[in-house]
Amino acid sequence: MTDLSTRLTVRRLLVLQFVSMGAMEMSGPFWPLYLKGLAPSEQAFQIASIGAYVGPMLGIMLTSTFWGRIGDRHGNKPMMIRALLGLCATQLLIAVSNDVWVIVALRFLQGACAGYLAPAQAYGVQIESPERRAQLFAHLQIATNLGSLFGAILGGLILDRAPFPLINVTAGLLCAACAAAAWLGLPIPPAKPPQAIGPSKADKHPSGAAVPVAGLLVLLGLLLMARMLTQVPFSLYIREIYGAAPWVTGLCYGLVALGFVISASHWTRALSGKPLDAILRWLLLVIAGCALATIAIGLTRTLSVMVGLFLAWGILLGATTPVVMSVISAATSMNRQGYVLGLSQSTQQFSSVSGIFLGALLSDMAGLSSIFFFVCAFYLLSLVVAAALWRRELKCRPGLSALDTL
């Protein structure tokens, strides 16, 4: 492939990422609102609400390795098309289902049959040069979050004017269109010679010091748990505290993604090339900012203030998981990248599931109005772990004081 054709293919891949993620996130904030009207009891509603979010994650966790092996044998493009068709089929089946347990089962099947993101990333790596991989992943992440933003807003607008199943029908049709576009518009990537699969210079960590990968994985997990605590109670919280329309819920849900989009690349550039101790020090400040933002969300009862705080929270999130993942990747030798990044993915899925369960449990036990105080508590716990990693790094580098990292 020429450089021009590669750039065009990458742009098509980014558009597909944006549209498919938007389709998947259209129903994201609104499952509790829909399931509450279908559930036969409060207990069934609580279980179904958790299952609607956890089901796809469990499906991905259990089948991603299998689909990855199939993709290695038959190519990533067919796996992308298969995943999009699986999303289309399950969305349409959900649209015609009115039993909460059937919907939860279909949500699990949606994750098990789909798994679009991994083959899309692998396809991008196949067509992109090693020197541009970091930029590729950054752009894919931005496309993902922009899709989440516009998908949530579109879902809210649909729900304001039509029943919830129309969201699933729309999402299913978008996924079918993406599958057709991938089939017609994405070329089969050429086989790369062995020398093109080696590490790039960007893979080397600037400090050259041993990096506590296990500690960073713990920090990554805590940060994701803090973020996912609000997944189930989010729409119920906005409705109970503010009595807002569904489109406002979608806007708030999407503003976190928007903040991430507008800040992630800036954070990456600002921290690029800095030693680990400096990165950890900045993470301390960012995590402290997340704690302040979320406790302020929990305290305020002014809608405009809350909207601004959600955007600020998203901006700070742009410097959390992407930065931690980049440090983990840079600290890992090329022959262990697959294992360590796979372990990171497992950590993220486990932490997301745990956060969803805890969020539903805590909001049920302590009330919806308290959920953001628990989010703040998890950020404070993350702050303790980040501080311990920072102090460890200072001790591992004799003669370096805390002032040297300013």
Residue type, 258: L
pLDDT class for 197, splitting at 50, 70, 90?
A: very low
Dihedral (CA of 109, 112, 115, 119) sign: negative
C-alpha 35/C-alpha 41 separation (Å) is: 11
Whole-model pTM? 0.69
Q: Tens of pLDDT along 310-334?
A: 999 999 998 888 778 777 766 665 4
Token digits for 13? 């891949």
- pLDDT top residue among 381 and 58: 381
Give yes or no for residue 22 having a pLDDT over 50: yes
One domain for residues 206 and 293: yes
- pLDDT top residue among 216 and 264: 216
In the predicted model, what is the mean pLDDT of the chain? 82
pLDDT class for 1, splitting at 50, 70, 90?
A: low
Could you give the angle at which helices 133-161 and 321-330 cross, rounded to 10 degrees? 150
pLDDT at position 129 is 72
- Segment 379-397 mean pLDDT: 89
Secondary structure (DSSP) of 173-229 = HHHHHHHHHHHHHSPPPPPPPGGGGS--GGGS-TT-S---HHHHHHHHHHHHHHHHT
Decide which of 148, 175, 193 is a domain's last residue. 193
One domain for residues 131 and 255: no
pLDDT at position 196 is 42
- Segment 167-185 mean pLDDT: 94
Q: Tens of pLDDT along 146-171?
A: 887 788 889 989 988 889 999 999 99
Percent of the chain with pLDDT over 90: 33
pLDDT at position 209 is 47
One domain for residues 389 and 268: yes
Q: Tens of pLDDT along 223-268?
A: 999 999 998 888 889 888 888 888 888 788 778 878 888 887 788 7
Cα of 203 vs its chain's centroid, Å: 23
Contact 284, 178 (CB under 8 A): no
Phi, psi of 187 (to 5 degrees): -75, 160
Token digits for 129? 């040069």
- pLDDT top residue among 378 and 55: 378
Percent of the chain with pLDDT over 70: 84
Select from 233, 208, 248 the least CA-distant residue to 359: 233
One domain for residues 215 and 185: no
pLDDT class for 403, splitting at 50, 70, 90?
A: very low
Decide which of 193, 223, 250 is a domain's last residue. 193
Q: How many domains does the chain have?
A: 2
- pLDDT top residue among 24 and 382: 382
pLDDT at position 285 is 96
pLDDT class for 204, splitting at 50, 70, 90?
A: very low
Give yes or no for residue 200 having a pLDDT over 70: no
One domain for residues 62 and 168: yes
Residue 165 burial by Cβ neighbours in a 10 Å radius (0-12, 13-18, 19+) = middle
Q: Tens of pLDDT along 93-134?
A: 999 998 999 999 999 998 888 767 777 777 777 787 766 665
One domain for residues 169 and 280: no
CATH number at residue 145: 1.20.1250.20
Distances (CA, A) of 64 to 55, 109, 367: 14, 13, 36
One domain for residues 177 and 293: no
Decide which of 193, 211, 226 is a domain's last residue. 193
Give yes or no for residue 18 having a pLDDT over 90: yes
C-alpha 143/C-alpha 262 separation (Å) is: 11
- Segment 275-289 mean pLDDT: 91
Could you list the beta-strand ranges (E) of 262-384: none
One domain for residues 186 and 332: no
Give yes or no for residue 195 having a pLDDT over 50: no
pLDDT at position 342 is 56
One domain for residues 124 and 222: no
Residue 398 burial by Cβ neighbours in a 10 Å radius (0-12, 13-18, 19+) = exposed
pLDDT class for 202, splitting at 50, 70, 90?
A: very low
Q: Tens of pLDDT along 74-92?
A: 778 888 899 899 999 999 9
Contact 158, 29 (CB under 8 A): no
pLDDT at position 63 is 77
One domain for residues 272 and 359: yes
pLDDT class for 198, splitting at 50, 70, 90?
A: very low
Give yes or no for residue 280 having a pLDDT over 50: yes
User: If residue 20 lies in a helix (H) or strand (E), which one and from where to where?
Assistant: helix 3-25
pLDDT at position 332 is 62
One domain for residues 222 and 169: no
The domain in which residue 309 lies consists of 199-406
